[in-house]
Every structure is written in structure tokens, then in C-alpha cells.
């Protein structure tokens, strides 16, 4: 330094040259006099002038601080004071001084007006220019414009701050799920960062701001809620809507306010403020505003920060809202899936070695899942773990959904699970997730019910098709949906022609309207249906049919239509018609019969009396029905007997055959023979009794007369035969005396006497037979004891022994039965029959052969006595049993009473006797008797 100073001095450069030199040096240099406090400018370099936008004239000769005064704000004042201090220090120390920090002193831009200045930062270096006495002669003050560097540094700093801020902001709001909390956090972070008095994020709704949260510090609190933007002046919303921000530096002085607007702002403490709009798709949706109670010259960085905060808050609010919505919606879905009856699950398809679906794992299930599938704790396990034999169909189907993304719906049965499912499967998540959601329900019960219904329907069809009647089914609207096979076969219709209402077409045109009406009425009332009509058969003939139906009712009793049957009743109709005809005929017949005809119910009560009965008794039928006839018209002596006999017959104990007296209209009783037979059904049960009463009064009287006549005759025969025996014995005795004593050798007398003797013998025989005959009459009550026919036969052969031996006859007889009767009388019968068999032999002297047989038919024994005699013409088989009836009068002796006696005896035994013969071949005589009741 000494060298250079001396050099300058030594060179003695003229002043003018120095000035020029100074002016043109590249540095921004100004030379001042050390005349504190003025610091008069004595020289200045061109570069300095350019930097501070001044002319040399504005500076030279003036105090430095005249040109660069303090103010307008603290920053500038500080800078000037620092500079003054630095100058004084240089004067005092004689040492150069450098202000450590860059000093801000804004300068007006040359282009812009005086009012606006631009930010400038300076590095100030002050050096003393010493005189030879070391006093400070001049002060050299050099400035360096470091604005760019400062700005860069600040920007860097701001950037770091901003980054830190944004980090803090995102930290504050990231985890928040509630949109209001997001707003609150954002407001707080930005408010604290910018040290403002208020910050808030407001939603714009119409022309209002809606403030849900606020950051406030040191200012009158604002209420949350809705604020009409109009209150603060129309230009504010207009500015926001145009997408522009609002910056107030000082509400007191800023232009553009009406007095009211200004008052409104100041009322809520807004002295300075920044508001930024958020426009989405051209629409103002929200603002972020910060307020200060002090005037504030907002930096761009601050404004940018507010804008950034606004954007981020909006995004966070949106996210929170979306999440909340999603949560709500997910909650709803979860609730839905948790509450539905359907099973729901999410599965992940597991691919096998070839990349094909081989199994799936349950990721998530709803509560119904377990009940619908029967699978317990399925989550986390695979289908094959749970159901090892699960059909590949399931994972193949779900795999296809996962791989193609095409949803599917199907119904299928799983054998190992024993269930049927109705499944809707759709892919969820990203394709590579291979996830499928299944919404399903167990339809096993439905399936079973469906199968049961199908089976029951097929059973019904089978039944209907094979039923002996035609069957049909209709719907509630009356249309026919089913006709049995038998209908088609009967009518020749097909399903096409018969179903619906086609079945009406085969009803006879005359019957159809009524049938159709009846059917429609039934449908309207849901009642039973029954109608008869003629139905056209496939061959074109009409057959009578009964169509009957009952309503089909659903489980709730609702009308489902009809199931009905059609029965061909032509045969029945014809049978009924025939019956009607036959009944009519029966009636005509009964009414035309001479007998009194009646019918009774199975219990014996009379329900019909013929016209003749009414005519005979003269009493209306209605007054005699039931059992009233008994007291009205039956003889009092016959009533008890008749009732007993009738009730016995009704009870099935015996037949009804009775003789009784019925009173006629004239009051006279006449004898009738009553007979009745029951009409029985297939089971043998009596359904009706038909009876007749035949007038036997005349017969009865004739019989009575005959019986009386016979009695007289028999009386006479008995008396005659008895009384005749004595004179005959006399004749016999005297004839024998005559022969013995007087006929002597007189052959004539001998001959006469013999004739007399023979005649007497014949008469004896006759009288004996007559006596026998009349005795059979008198012993009226045939003995009901047991009679052993073997004994009877033996008695007969004993009597006939002489004749048997004489003729050399053979009698062959088995052991004969015991019957009910009188042995002696039956011996008489055998005796007569054997006697005839021995007698009626040809004169050639054939040896008689008599064969006796016995045969039982249950209740009766029939005995046959067969001979090898001459026989007789069959037409006389009945007549020979008459009194004195003889066929062989000339050749054979006899009285003609033997067979009559036999008949009388057998009759009295309740039996029957008859004969059979071929002339020349022998005869057979039969008699039947009731078998003895074993003791």
C-alpha cells in the first residue's frame, strides 16, 4: 500500500485525469467527504450511477443521505443507519469497513414511476483515503448489487421453508379422515407459519362462504357458519370467480373499498389479507384466506404458500370426503352383506402347475356364509382343504370369472357338500389379484321341493292318465292346462285342440251353453262344479258324461283353478233307464197280479202295498205301512203268530211262508197264504223283501170239506173192516164145517165150498189192508222217534219169510240208516214194497232179485227198492199210489191198497215216495225220509 500511495503521489496525475479515471472504473464507487453527518459526494463512477439509477448531477455536491434518505420503512432506515455507522467508523479508525450482511435498499425502477421501487440488496465496503498525515481525506464507498444473490439465497431459504411447511402441512392433514379436521389442521399450519391472526378454508356455496373451522390468534373470534360474500363487497366474489387472488396490504388505505366494505373488513379485524380461490372445472368451490390485524406487504412466497395450502387442503378435503363416503358406502355394503340371507364371500383363485385354476382360498365371508355352505371357519382356508372331494367344476368356473372378468350366474349341485347353490360370481379387484366375489344361496330345499313337486306332478299325471275317468286341470282364469291321456283317447282331441278352452268344442252343442255357464259360475265363486252333458267321442257319437270338479287351493287358501274328472255315464244312464222301465214293469206286473203284493225294507217295515191289497182291505196304503197292517187287517188270532214268524224271517232264521186271515173291506176274514223272499245284494245282505198273499180261502174250505169227507170214509172203513171181520170168520168156520162134514165125496159141493173159502180169504185180506190203511190215518202224529230202517227191513222179511223161501228170492241190502220215524210203520212200507217185488214177477218163474240201496243227500235219506219183475208203463208211475189203483188186475191178486198205505205212511213222516219202471226190466220204488237228528 505504501508503494502505491507513493506511486500515485510520485506520478502526480492531474485531478482531471483522476476524475475521469474514477468515473470510468468498473466498480460502483462513490467518493465522499468525511464531513459527517453530510458526507458530501465528490465523485462517483459511472457504474455506480447505473446501479442506483441516478445521474451525476443528482449526486455530486450533495450529501449522500439527501439522495438516499431513511425510510420509508424500517428495513431502509436500518440500512441507512448501518451505512452511516460504517462511514463514521472508517473516519474514526482510518480503517476500511465492510458491512457483513447485504443491506436492502430498494430503488425505483427507471421505467416505473416514483411510487414503485424494486427490491435491491447491497454489499457495502467503505475505505478511507488518507492524507499524508494519515488523516482521512476522502471516503471511498463501494457498493456491490447482490440482489440476485440475496434473492437466490432467500428463494433457497424460502423453498426450504416452503418444503418444511408443506411437509408439516401434509403431516398434519395426511392422517385425518374428517374433512373438517383437515380444514382445521391446514388453517392452523398455515396460520402459524405465516404468523397471521386468522386463517380458514371456506367452502363456497352459492354466494356464501361456509366456514367450518378457523385458526385464530389475537383477534376477535369469528363464528363458524355461513357468511354472505356480499357483505364484503361484490368485487371479492367476482375476483375469486375469475380465478384471481385477493391481496390487501392495508385495509385502511387500500383502494377499491366503499366505506361500508372497509368497515365490514375492519369490523372483523382484517387490516391485511390474502385470499386464494379454488376453481374446479371452472367453478369456484372454496377459498383459503389469511387475515392480519396489521398492514402487511405480502411476499410472493407467502402468497404462493397460501395457494399451495389451498390446493393441498382441497385435495385432502376431497380425499377425506371420498374416504368418508367410501367408508359410509363400504359400511353400508358390509351391513348389507352381513344382514342379507344370501351367502357372500370373496375368494382368491389358486392356480395349479399348468397355470390353471386348481383351488381357491376364502378371503372374506359374511355371517350367512356358514349357514348357507355348512363350512366353518372358512376364511384363510382353501376349498379343497374344507371339501377335499369338491368337484373341479367349482374352481374351474370361478377361475374363468377371475381370468376373463366376465361375471356368471348359475345353479349347480355339489355332491360332497350335499347342497345345491344359486351363485352369482364376479371379479373384484385387479385382474392379477384373481379375486372373485360370490353371492349365493343354498337352494337345496328349493331343489328338493321342486323335485318333489315334479315327482308329485308326474305321479298325478300317471294317475290321471291311468284313471278310469278322464281328468283335467284348469287355471284360475279357467283355461285348461292338463287333460289326461284318457280324455285324448276318448275325444280324439290333441293337446293343441283340447287345452285352453278347446275342450268345450266336444260338448254337444245343445248342452254346451249350460255347461260353459256352470263352469264359469263355478270359477267366479271358486265353488264345486258338477254338470252333466253329452260328450262327443272320437267316433262322432255322443255319450252322456258327468263332469265334476273341486277347487285347487294354495297353501294360503287361494283359488288356483280346478282339478276335475269326466265320467262316461251312458251305460249307467241306460241301466238307470232300464231300471226305471223294469220298475215300471214290476209295478204294472204287481198291480195286475191276482195276489196282494207288498214290499218291505230290510228291517221288516212295509214300504209298499199293491193296489189289490188296498182294494181288498179297503184301507189306504199309507195307513197300513210299516207294521200297521198287522193290527188293521190281520185276524186277532193270527197276529201274534204272524208277527213272530215275520220277524223270524227278517232275522234270517227261516223262510216266510204262512197262512193267515186277512180282513176284507166287507169285514169278512179270508185265508191267505203269505210268502216273501228277500232281494239280496252281492254281499248277501237283504236289501228288500218282496211278498205276496194268495187267497187260499176257497182251497182251504175245499180241503176242509174233503178232510171231513175222508174222515167219514175212514171212519166207515175202520168200522166196516173191524165189524166185517166177525161175520167173515163165521163164514169161514161154517164153510170149513160144510166141507168137512157135508161135501164128502161130492166134488161139486167141494168146489163151491173152496170158492167160498177163497172169496172169504180175499175179503179178509181186503179188510186187513183197509184196517191198516185207516189205522195210518188215525195215528195222525207220525212218530218222531228214531227208526232204524235195518230193523224195519228185518221185520218185513220175517213176515214174508215163507214167500221168500218159496220163491228162492234173493234180497240184497246194506246196513240201513236210522231215520226220524216209527219203525213199525216203516216195516209196513218195506213189507208192501217187498211183497209187490216178489209178486209182480213173470210167470216163467224167474227167481226174484231184490236190491235195496240207501243214499243220503244231507238232510234226507233216499231208499231204493229195485226188483227184476215185470215192471209197468212209466205213465202210471204216479197213479199206482192211488186207493184201489191196480195195473195187473187179471194176472195178479191184490187190493190196490198197498202203495196207498205206503204213501200215507211216508207222507205222515214228512217224506216222499215215487216209482220208476221200464216194462219187462223191473221197477224201482224210492222213498225219502228226514235223517234222524243225532242225539
What lies within 8 Å, CB to CB, of 781 at 6+ separation is none
Percent composition of the chain: helix, strand, coil (DSSP 3-state, to 5): 45, 25, 30
Strand 136-145 to 272-280 pairing: unpaired
- Residue 301: count other Cβ atoms within 10 Å of its Cβ: 15
Could you tell me the smallest distance in angstroms from the CB atom of residue 856 to ligand ADP?
Answer: 24
By C-beta, is 425 or 880 nearer to ligand ADP?
A: 880
By C-beta, is 179 or 922 nearer to ligand ADP?
A: 922
Cell numbers at 862, concatenated: 233216499
Which residue, 407, 409, 418, is CA-closest to 442? 418
Could you tell me the smallest distance in angstroms from the CB atom of residue 918 to ligand ADP?
Answer: 11
Q: Which of 187, 895, 924, 928 is in the footprint of ligand ADP by CB under 6 A?
A: 895
Alpha-helical segments (H) within 357-443: 367-373, 383-386, 392-404
Q: Which stretch binds ligand ADP (CB under 6 A): 621-629, 643-651, 737-745, 894-902?
A: 894-902
Euclidean distance between CA atoms 599 and 609, whole angstroms: 7
Q: Where are the beta strands (DSSP E) in 793-846?
A: 810-812, 818-820
Q: Which stretch binds ligand ADP (CB under 6 A): 323-331, 702-710, 782-790, 884-892?
A: 884-892
By C-beta, is 523 or 832 nearer to ligand ADP?
A: 832
Q: Which stretch binds ligand ADP (CB under 6 A): 110-118, 141-149, 487-495, 890-898?
A: 890-898
The site string for ligand ADP over 492-531 (x = CB under 6 A, - otherwise) reads ----------------------------------------
Let me know if 862 is exposed, middle or buried by CB neighbors in 10 A (0-12, 13-18, 19+). middle
Region 89-148 residues binding ligand ADP, contact defined as CB under 6 A:
none
Q: Which stretch binds ligand ADP (CB under 6 A): 342-350, 697-705, 785-793, 881-889?
A: 881-889
By C-beta, is 864 or 887 nearer to ligand ADP?
A: 887
By C-beta, is 195 or 888 nearer to ligand ADP?
A: 888
Could you tell me the smallest distance in angstroms from the CB atom of residue 723 to ligand ADP?
Answer: 22
By C-beta, is 343 or 871 nearer to ligand ADP?
A: 871
By C-beta, is 202 or 906 nearer to ligand ADP?
A: 906
Give the CA angle between residues 690, 694, 698 to the nearest 5°: 175
Could you tell me the smallest distance in angstroms from the CB atom of residue 901 to ligand ADP?
Answer: 8
Could you tell me the smallest distance in angstroms from the CB atom of residue 825 to ligand ADP?
Answer: 16
Euclidean distance between CA atoms 297 and 274, whole angstroms: 10
Which residue, 657, 664, 648, 663, is CA-closest to 692? 657
The site string for ligand ADP over 811-840 (x = CB under 6 A, - otherwise) reads -------------------------xx--x
Euclidean distance between CA atoms 829 and 769, whole angstroms: 12
Could you tell me the smallest distance in angstroms from the CB atom of residue 761 to ligand ADP?
Answer: 14
- Cis (ω within 30 of 0) for the bond into 72? yes
Cell numbers at 225, concatenated: 357458519
By C-beta, is 708 or 893 nearer to ligand ADP?
A: 893
Are the C-beta atoms of residues 419 and 444 closer than 8 Å to each other? yes
Euclidean distance between CA atoms 225 and 210, whole angstroms: 5
Give the three-class secondary structure for 915.
strand
Sheet hosting strand 810-812, strand order edge to edge: 810-812, 849-856, 860-866, 923-930, 912-917
Euclidean distance between CA atoms 614 and 808, whole angstroms: 70
Region 861-880 residues binding ligand ADP, contact defined as CB under 6 A:
867, 869-872, 880
Could you tell me the smallest distance in angstroms from the CB atom of residue 764 to ligand ADP?
Answer: 14
Q: Which of 90, 194, 767, 897 is in the footprint of ligand ADP by CB under 6 A?
A: 897
Are the C-beta atoms of residues 645 and 656 closer than 8 Å to each other? yes
Could you tell me the smallest distance in angstroms from the CB atom of residue 762 to ligand ADP?
Answer: 11
Could you tell me the smallest distance in angstroms from the CB atom of residue 881 to ligand ADP?
Answer: 8
Could you tell me the smallest distance in angstroms from the CB atom of residue 796 to ligand ADP?
Answer: 14
Could you tell me the smallest distance in angstroms from the CB atom of residue 756 to ligand ADP?
Answer: 21
Euclidean distance between CA atoms 487 and 865, whole angstroms: 71
Told to check if 887 binds ligand ADP by CB under 6 A, we report yes
By C-beta, is 172 or 880 nearer to ligand ADP?
A: 880
By C-beta, is 185 or 899 nearer to ligand ADP?
A: 899
By C-beta, is 629 or 840 nearer to ligand ADP?
A: 840
Told to check if 903 binds ligand ADP by CB under 6 A, we report no
Kindly state the number of chain residues that form the binding site for ligand ADP, as judged by CB under 6 A. 21
Which residue, 527, 528, 490, is CA-closest to 507? 490
Told to check if 888 binds ligand ADP by CB under 6 A, we report yes
Sheet hosting strand 559-568, strand order edge to edge: 480-483, 470-474, 559-568, 542-553, 529-536
Could you tell me the smallest distance in angstroms from the CB atom of residue 649 to ligand ADP?
Answer: 40
Sheet hosting strand 419-428, strand order edge to edge: 357-365, 343-351, 435-442, 419-428, 408-414
Q: Which stretch binds ligand ADP (CB under 6 A): 155-163, 246-254, 333-341, 897-905?
A: 897-905
Could you tell me the smallest distance in angstroms from the CB atom of residue 721 to ligand ADP?
Answer: 15
Could you tell me the smallest distance in angstroms from the CB atom of residue 714 to ligand ADP?
Answer: 17
By C-beta, is 197 or 923 nearer to ligand ADP?
A: 923
Comparing every residue's Cβ against ligand ADP, the nearest one is 894
- DSSP category for residue 738: I
Region 440-479 residues binding ligand ADP, contact defined as CB under 6 A:
none
Told to check if 923 binds ligand ADP by CB under 6 A, we report yes
Are the C-beta atoms of residues 402 and 435 closer than 8 Å to each other? yes
Cell numbers at 327, concatenated: 367408508
Region 304-323 residues binding ligand ADP, contact defined as CB under 6 A:
none
Euclidean distance between CA atoms 375 and 360, whole angstroms: 14
Are the C-beta atoms of residues 207 and 230 closer than 8 Å to each other? yes
Alpha-helical segments (H) within 623-696: 628-633, 636-650
Let me know if 160 is exposed, middle or buried by CB neighbors in 10 A (0-12, 13-18, 19+). exposed
Could you tell me the smallest distance in angstroms from the CB atom of residue 763 to ligand ADP?
Answer: 14
By C-beta, is 368 or 792 nearer to ligand ADP?
A: 792
Cell numbers at 106, concatenated: 430498494
SS (H, E, C) 194-205: HCCCEEEEEEEE
The site string for ligand ADP over 214-243 (x = CB under 6 A, - otherwise) reads ------------------------------
Q: Which stretch binds ligand ADP (CB under 6 A): 269-277, 296-304, 360-368, 886-894?
A: 886-894
By C-beta, is 459 or 921 nearer to ligand ADP?
A: 921
Are the C-beta atoms of residues 101 and 121 closer than 8 Å to each other? no
Told to check if 848 binds ligand ADP by CB under 6 A, we report no
Are the C-beta atoms of residues 892 and 843 closer than 8 Å to each other? no
By C-beta, is 443 or 833 nearer to ligand ADP?
A: 833
Told to check if 776 binds ligand ADP by CB under 6 A, we report no
Q: Which residue has the cell 372378468?
A: 405
CA 28 vs. chain centroid, Å, equals 108
By C-beta, is 649 or 900 nearer to ligand ADP?
A: 900
Could you tell me the smallest distance in angstroms from the CB atom of residue 823 to ligand ADP?
Answer: 21
- Ramachandran sector of residue 156 (left: φ over 0; alpha: ψ -120 to 50; beta: rest): alpha
By C-beta, is 395 or 872 nearer to ligand ADP?
A: 872
CA dihedral for 456, 459, 465, 468, sign (positive or negative): negative
By C-beta, is 29 or 865 nearer to ligand ADP?
A: 865
Residues lying near ligand ADP in the complex (CB under 6 A): 836-837, 840, 867, 869-872, 880, 885-888, 894-900, 923
Amino acid at each position: 500500500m505504501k508503494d502505491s500511495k507513493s506511486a500515485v503521489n510520485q506520478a502526480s496525475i492531474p485531478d482531471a485525469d483522476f476524475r475521469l479515471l474514477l468515473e470510468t472504473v468498473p466498480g460502483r464507487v462513490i467518493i465522499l467527504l468525511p464531513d459527517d453527518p453530510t458526507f458530501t459526494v465528490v465523485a462517483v463512477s459511472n457504474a455506480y450511477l447505473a446501479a442506483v439509477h441516478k445521474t451525476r448531477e443528482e449526486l455530486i455536491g450533495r450529501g449522500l443521505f439527501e439522495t438516499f434518505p431513511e425510510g420509508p420503512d424500517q428495513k431502509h432506515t436500518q440500512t441507512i443507519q448501518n451505512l452511516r455507522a460504517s462511514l463514521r467508523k472508517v473516519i474514526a479508525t482510518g480503517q476500511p469497513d465492510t458491512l457483513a450482511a447485504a443491506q436492502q435498499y430498494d430503488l425505483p425502477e427507471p421505467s416505473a414511476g416514483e411510487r414503485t421501487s424494486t427490491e435491491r440488496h447491497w454489499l457495502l465496503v467503505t475505505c478511507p483515503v488518507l492524507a499524508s498525515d494519515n488523516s482521512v481525506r476522502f471516503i471511498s464507498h463501494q457498493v456491490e448489487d447482490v440482489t440476485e444473490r440475496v434473492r437466490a439465497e432467500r428463494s433457497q431459504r424460502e423453498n426450504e421453508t416452503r418444503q418444511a411447511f408443506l411437509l408439516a402441512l401434509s403431516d398434519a392433514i395426511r392422517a385425518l379422515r374428517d374433512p373438517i379436521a383437515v380444514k382445521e389442521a391446514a388453517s392452523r399450519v398455515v396460520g402459524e407459519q405465516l404468523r397471521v391472526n386468522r386463517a380458514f378454508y371456506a367452502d363456497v356455496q352459492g354466494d356464501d362462504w361456509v366456514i367450518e373451522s378457523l385458526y385464530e390468534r389475537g383477534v376477535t373470534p369469528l363464528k363458524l357458519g355461513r357468511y354472505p360474500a356480499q357483505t364484503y363487497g361484490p368485487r371479492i366474489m367476482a375476483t375469486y370467480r375469475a380465478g384471481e387472488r385477493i391481496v390487501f396490504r392495508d385495509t385502511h388505505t387500500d383502494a377499491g373499498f366503499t366505506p361500508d366494505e372497509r368497515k365490514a373488513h375492519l369490523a372483523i379485524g382484517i387490516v391485511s389479507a390474502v385470499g386464494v380461490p379454488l376453481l374446479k372445472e371452472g367453478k369456484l368451490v372454496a377459498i383459503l384466506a389469511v387475515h392480519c390485524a396489521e398492514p402487511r406487504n405480502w411476499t410472493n412466497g407467502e402468497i404462493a404458500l397460501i395457494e399451495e395450502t389451498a390446493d393441498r387442503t382441497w385435495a385432502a378435503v376431497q380425499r377425506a370426503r371420498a374416504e368418508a363416503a367410501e367408508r359410509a358406502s363400504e359400511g353400508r355394503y358390509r351391513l348389507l352383506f352381513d344382514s342379507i340371507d344370501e351367502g357372500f364371500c370373496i375368494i382368491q383363485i389358486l392356480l395349479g402347475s399348468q397355470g390353471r385354476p386348481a383351488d381357491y382360498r376364502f378371503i372374506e365371508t359374511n355371517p350367512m356364509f356358514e349357514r348357507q355352505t355348512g363350512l366353518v371357519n372358512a376364511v384363510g382356508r382353501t376349498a379343497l382343504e374344507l371339501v377335499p372331494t369338491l368337484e373341479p367344476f367349482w374352481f374351474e368356473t370361478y377361475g374363468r370369472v377371475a381370468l376373463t372378468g366376465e361375471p356368471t350366474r348359475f345353479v349347480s349341485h355339489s355332491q360332497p357338500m350335499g347342497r345345491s347353490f344359486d351363485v352369482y360370481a364376479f371379479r373384484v379387484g385387479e385382474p392379477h389379484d384373481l379375486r372373485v366375489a360370490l353371492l349365493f344361496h343354498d337352494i337345496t330345499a328349493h331343489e328338493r321341493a321342486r323335485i318333489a313337486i315334479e315327482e308329485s306332478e308326474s305321479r298325478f299325471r300317471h294317475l290321471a292318465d291311468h284313471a278310469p275317468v278322464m281328468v283335467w286341470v284348469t287355471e284360475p282364469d279357467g283355461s285348461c292346462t292338463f287333460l289326461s291321456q284318457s280324455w285324448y283317447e276318448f275325444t280324439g282331441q290333441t293337446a293343441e285342440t283340447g287345452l285352453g278352452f278347446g275342450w268345450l268344442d266336444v260338448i254337444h252343442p245343445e248342452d254346451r251353453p249350460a255347461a260353459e255357464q256352470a263352469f264359469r259360475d263355478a270359477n267366479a265363486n271358486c265353488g264345486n262344479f258338477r254338470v252333466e252333458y253329452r260328450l262327443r267321442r272320437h267316433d262322432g257319437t255322443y255319450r252322456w258324461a258327468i263332469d265334476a270338479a273341486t277347487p285347487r287351493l294354495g297353501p294360503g287358501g287361494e283359488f288356483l283353478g280346478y282339478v276335475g274328472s269326466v265320467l262316461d255315464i251312458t251305460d249307467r244312464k241306460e241301466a238307470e233307464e232300464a231300471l226305471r222301465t223294469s220298475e215300471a214293469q214290476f209295478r204294472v206286473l204287481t198291480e195286475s197280479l191276482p195276489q196282494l203284493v207288498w214290499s218291505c225294507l230290510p228291517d221288516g217295515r212295509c214300504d209298499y202295498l199293491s193296489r189289490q191289497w188296498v182294494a181288498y182291505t179297503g184301507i189306504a196304503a199309507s195307513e197300513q205301512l210299516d207294521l200297521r197292517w198287522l193290527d188293521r187287517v190281520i185276524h186277532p188270532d193270527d197276529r201274534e203268530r204272524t208277527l213272530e214268524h215275520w220277524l223270524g224271517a227278517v232275522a234270517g232264521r227261516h223262510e216266510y211262508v204262512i197262512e193267515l186271515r186277512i180282513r176284507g173291506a166287507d169285514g169278512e176274514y179270508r185265508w191267505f197264504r203269505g210268502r216273501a223272499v228277500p232281494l239280496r245284494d252281492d254281499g248277501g245282505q237283504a236289501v228288500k223283501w218282496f211278498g205276496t198273499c194268495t187267497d187260499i180261502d176257497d182251497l182251504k174250505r175245499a180241503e176242509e170239506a174233503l178232510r171231513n169227507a175222508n174222515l167219514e170214509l175212514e171212519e166207515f172203513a175202520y168200522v166196516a173192516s173191524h165189524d166185517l171181520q166177525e161175520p167173515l170168520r163165521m163164514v169161514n168156520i161154517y164153510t170149513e164145517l160144510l166141507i168137512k162134514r157135508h161135501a164128502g165125496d161130492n166134488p161139486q159141493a167141494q168146489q163151491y165150498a173152496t170158492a167160498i173159502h177163497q172169496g172169504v180169504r180175499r175179503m179178509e185180506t181186503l179188510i186187513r189192508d183197509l184196517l191198516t190203511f185207516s189205522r195210518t190215518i188215525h195215528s195222525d202224529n207220525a212218530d218222531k222217534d228214531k227208526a232204524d230202517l235195518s230193523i224195519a227191513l228185518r221185520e218185513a222179511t220175517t213176515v214174508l219169510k215163507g214167500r221168500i223161501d218159496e220163491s228162492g228170492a234173493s234180497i240184497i241190502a246194506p246196513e240201513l240208516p236210522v231215520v226220524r220215524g216209527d219203525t213199525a210203520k216203516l216195516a209196513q212200507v218195506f213189507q208192501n214194497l217187498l211183497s209187490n217185488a216178489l209178486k209182480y214177477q213173470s210167470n216163467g218163474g224167474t227167481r226174484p232179485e231184490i236190491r235195496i240201496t240207501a243214499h243220503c243227500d244231507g238232510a234226507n235219506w233216499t231208499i231204493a227198492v229195485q226188483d227184476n219183475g215185470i215192471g209197468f208203463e212209466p205213465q202210471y208211475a204216479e197213479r199206482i199210489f192211488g186207493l184201489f189203483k191196480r195195473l195187473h188186475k187179471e194176472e195178479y191178486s191184490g187190493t190196490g191198497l198197498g202203495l196207498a198205505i205206503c204213501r200215507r205212511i211216508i207222507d205222515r213222516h214228512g217224506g216222499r215216495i215215487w216209482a220208476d219202471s221200464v216194462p219187462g226190466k223191473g221197477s224201482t220204488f224210492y222213498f225219502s225220509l228226514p235223517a234222524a237228528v243225532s242225539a
